[in-house]
Amino acid sequence: MQTLEITRPDDWHIHLRDGEVLNHTVADASRYFGRVIVMPNLTPPVRNLAEARAYRQRIEQALPASGHKLQPLMVLYLTDNTQPEDIAAAAASDVVYAAKLYPAGATTNSDSGVTRIEKLYPVLESMEKHGLPLLVHGEVTDAEIDIFDREARFIDRYLRNICLQFPALKVVLEHITTADAAQFVSESAENVAATITAHHLLYNRNHMLAGGIRPHYYCLPILKRNTHQQALIAAATSASPKFFLGTDSAPHARHRKETSCGCAGCYTAYAAIELYAEAFETAGKLDKLEAFASFYGPDFYGLPRNTDTIILQKNSWTAPEQLPLGGDTIYPLRGGEQLHWQIA
């Protein structure tokens, strides 16, 4: 049987949610990830160091007693009221590792997000000064802009300018979905990077919309056409340290996705590295998986790489059709279908 041993990976973008759900999301994420960058889009969001510390404690309480110990790296949610002092306090802590920009209304639980990005500039200045990375959900929110164009528009309207105004600010364009985003990041300075999800490497919008509408493929930014998928595969497997693993595993109870107006988000934490391995293998670039999953993320954040390893085996198995999520159930991405890699 083919096996692949790689340095323990980290997940630089995950949604663990809160409350009883943590028992399931944290157990899945802690199977082999060393560290996770925990998204702050709770209701209410995680706005300051005290809230981040309290949330980290709730996550740590949900860690399974046995097995590997996951390290949650917390993120502040930027609002119109975030102050430079909030950034200074967070950056000085060993709790918060980044702050997240959600344009108001762009995605799940983003109602408290920033309404005028220019007003955030004193906060960005403080982040640049303190070396706290800015994580970006890069989509404009204008009703008249086509949903498939929203990422590219965000780059042109806001991101270029942010990078020009704050040349030393570390920026991660999260869950990129377009050739435009991959190109922008490639051409930017080395302090500008991107995370790429497994589902954007494995799928394009045909998988979601052709032959029937599949709500479990619906996420934001939305899956784009095949040419964009190919550009993302090229970026992820290019051995550029600017592109690294961020699952954007985003659980929503099954009844909230299989409905007339369903939530955005794909749940992949139950088989994340397994799905990435498949995408890299299909591209003929399995040898590039380790650096993408385990080296470039910590390098960018200025953290040490993990020192132990995990082993993947080429072995087909059927993904569960549903999983528990607190008192609800969730339909994981690929549920009921064959997966081709497994953790030894």
Ligand X SMILES: NC(=O)N[C@@H](CC(=O)O)C(=O)O
Q: Residue 264 binds what, of Zn ion, ligand X, none (CB under 5 to 8 Å, by partner type)?
A: ligand X
H/E stretch holding 3: strand 3-7
Torsion-angle region of 334 (φ positive above 0: left; ψ -120 to 50: alpha; else: beta)? left
17 is in an annotated binding site: yes
* Residue of 10, 248, 274, 278 that binds ligand X (CB under 6 A): 248
Q: Does 100 bind ligand X (CB under 6 A)?
A: no
Min dist CB 286 to Zn ion, Å, is 26
Confirm whether 142 is a catalytic residue. Answer: no
Cα-based distances in Å from 323 to 65, 159, 178: 20, 38, 30
**Amino acid present at 222:** I
**Amino acid present at 96:** V
Are residues 59 and 52 in contact, defined by beta-carbon separation less than 8 angstroms?
Answer: no
User: Could you tell me the two tokens for 74?
Assistant: 């917390």
Min dist CB 105 to ligand X, Å, is 11
Q: Which of 14, 36, 284, 344 is nearest to 175 (CA)?
A: 14
228 is in an annotated binding site: no
Min dist CB 155 to Zn ion, Å, is 15
User: Could you tell me the two tokens for 319?
Assistant: 């993904």
Cα-based distances in Å from 57 to 33, 50, 52, 60: 18, 11, 9, 5
Pairing of strands 171-173, 134-136: parallel
200 is in an annotated binding site: no
Min dist CB 92 to ligand X, Å, is 27
Are residues 13 and 174 in contact, defined by beta-carbon separation less than 8 angstroms?
Answer: yes
Q: Which of 129, 170, 122 is nearest to 297 (CA)?
A: 170
175 is in an annotated binding site: yes
Lay out the site mask for ligand X across 15-34 (x = CB under 6 A, - = otherwise): x-------------------
Q: Rounding to the nearest 10 degrees, give the CA dihedral for residues 140, 264, 26, 311.
A: -90
Q: Does 248 bind Zn ion (CB under 5 A)?
A: yes
Q: Does 265 bind ligand X (CB under 6 A)?
A: yes
Q: Does 216 bind ligand X (CB under 6 A)?
A: no
Are residues 17 and 52 in contact, defined by beta-carbon separation less than 8 angstroms?
Answer: no
264 vs 283, which CB is nearer to ligand X? Answer: 264
Are residues 136 and 101 in contact, defined by beta-carbon separation less than 8 angstroms?
Answer: yes
Count how many residues are written for the chain: 344
Q: Does 90 bind ligand X (CB under 6 A)?
A: no
* Residue of 8, 137, 170, 200 that binds Zn ion (CB under 5 A): 137
* Residue of 6, 120, 198, 219 that binds ligand X (CB under 6 A): 219
Q: 179-238: which residues touch Zn ion (CB under 5 A)?
A: none
Q: Residue 41 binds what, of ligand X, Zn ion, none (CB under 5 to 8 Å, by partner type)?
A: ligand X
Q: 220-239: which residues touch ligand X (CB under 6 A)?
A: 220
24 vs 137, which CB is nearer to Zn ion? Answer: 137
Q: Does 310 bind ligand X (CB under 6 A)?
A: no
Catalytic annotation, pick one of 86, 94, 248, 287: 248
Q: Which residue has the tokens 């002092």?
A: 85
Binding site for ligand X (CB under 6 A): 15, 41, 107-108, 137, 219-220, 248, 250, 264-265
Query: What is the contact surface with Zn ion in residues (CB under 5 A)?
Result: 107, 137, 248
Q: Which residues are annotated as a binding site?
A: 13, 15-17, 41, 100, 137, 175, 220, 248, 252, 264
- Per the annotation, binding residues for substrate are 15-17, 41, 137, 220, 252, 264
Please give the positions annotated as active site: 248
